[in-house]
Amino acid sequence: MTDRDLVGSAHSPFIAAVLRSETPLIMEVKRRSATGADLTGGRSPSELVRLFEAADAPCISVVSGRWFGGDAALVDEVVRTTSRPVLQKDFFMRREQLVAAHRAGVSAVLLTAQLLHRDSLKALVNHALDLGLTPFVEVVTLQEIHDVPRAESCVIAVNNRDIRNKEQGPSNLDRSHDLFGAVRDTGTPLPVSASGIDSAEAAAALLAVGYRGLLVGTALLAGEGLHGRWGSAVTGARGNAS
């Protein structure tokens, strides 16, 4: 780890876990897509968590938003099943939601810059850090990147999809490639590319650019699975970028 990494991860188990991992994939438990399609393949949330752990996921993401079939019970099951840091993805808009997440035992919370006024984002980042939660701030524009407060204590994640249309439609991986320099320059210890990463080759390319972590959902459960090309491609790319 660099000096920046050590500072950023000092109070964040979530950041530290991803930075230490040779397989920096934040693997996601999501019940269904925004169109209503089942994404679990008949597996329970606990089964998915154990599958991700076996694939050396440093952290687990759980989507609790109603759009995607999530709820508080899903978060509770994931937290009970794993000892690894958990990211809760939902539309966090109020301090009370952050308090509930803290009580549920998660380590990090999603804050979507596209949906928050700059002052609201600042307040929520401060509240999260006061509670010991790591802000996982999703961005899609240069202005949103520049507006992230206390970036040295946050994860900054470029979303390759558009939350305003419920993340339907094709992904835009060029966004992550184009915005990486600006994300890096904020001082965040953990720049992440999130969503829409559907192949091992795409994942390796993003890590080669310099992203320190990737958030990947159902693509990991298809094709050659978690122990095939994904693992070798990601580990190799991480090593080459170090």
The packing angle between helices 118-130 and 95-104, to 10°, is: 30
* Cα 83 from Cα 118, distance rounded (Å): 33
**Predicted local distance difference test score (pLDDT) of residue 223:** 46
Biggest CA pair distance of the chain: 44
Q: Look up residue 142 and give its two tokens.
A: 């240069």
Q: What fold, for 3-241? A: TIM Barrel (3.20.20)
Please tell me what DSSP assigns to residue 152: G
* Cα 91 from Cα 78, distance rounded (Å): 18
Q: Indicate the residue type of 62.
A: V
Q: Look up residue 173 and give its two tokens.
A: 């991986």
Mean pLDDT of the chain: 89
Q: How far is CA 236 from the centre of its chain?
A: 21
pLDDT of 87 > 60? The answer is: yes
Beta bridge partners of 193: 158, 214
Q: Look up residue 199 and give its two tokens.
A: 């192949």
- Is residue 198 very low, low, confident or very high in pLDDT (cuts 50, 70, 90)? confident
Contact criterion met (CB below 8 Å) for 92 and 109:
yes
Domain boundaries in the chain? 3-241
Q: Give φ, ψ of 142 to 5 degrees.
A: -60, -40
Q: What is the pTM of this model?
A: 0.91
Q: Look up residue 14 and give its two tokens.
A: 């979530």
Contact criterion met (CB below 8 Å) for 34 and 167:
yes
Segment 57-84 shows an average pLDDT of: 95
Residue with more model confidence, 218 or 139: 139
Where is average pLDDT lowest: 72-76, 96-100, 186-190, 227-231?
227-231
* Cα 180 from Cα 195, distance rounded (Å): 15
* Cα 181 from Cα 200, distance rounded (Å): 22
CA angle 86, 38, 18 (to 5 degrees): 25
Residues in the chain: 242
Contact criterion met (CB below 8 Å) for 234 and 24:
yes
Gyration radius from the chain CA atoms: 16
* Among 137, 96, 135, CA closest to 114: 137
**Model confidence pLDDT, tens digit, residues 120-149:** 999 999 999 999 999 999 999 999 999 999
